[in-house]
Amino acid sequence: MKKATAVSIGLALAALAVQARGASTVAVGIKEFKFAPAALEVPRGTTVTWVNHDEETHTITSTTGAFASRGLGNDETFAQTFTRPGAYEYFCALHPKMRATVIVK
């Protein structure tokens, strides 16, 4: 194996190890008919967990159909792991003016 190829493979494996260690969970709160934060930037592999703090039922629904929760009552949660980079816009299907975005780097 050539030295340059071995170095390239080593760098690729190191990058994968960093990505695996960087995997985490981030919370988004739902309160007063708003997602907080409204814009969230996370690394690939992050699990986002939404928590409904309102007395009203809410959903987390992707504008593209990539993910959707059932109706969440007070203090119920929904989690989604983001494995691909991109901007994921979502809204509450019961209250469509509630909108937010997860940006995966």
Class of the CATH-defined domain 23-104:
mainly beta
> Would the pTM of this model clear 0.85, i.e. be above it?
no
Confidence of residue 22 (pLDDT cuts 50, 70, 90): low
Amino acid 67: pLDDT: 98
How many Cβ atoms from other residues are within 10 Å of residue 90's Cβ?
A: 25
Amino acid 73: pLDDT: 98
51-71 per-position pLDDT tens digit: 999 999 999 999 999 999 999
Q: Could you tell me the residue ranges of all domains in the chain?
A: 23-104
Distance (Å) of CA 13 to CA 5, 22, 43, 102: 12, 14, 17, 27
The encoded tokens of residue 4 equal: 């340059």
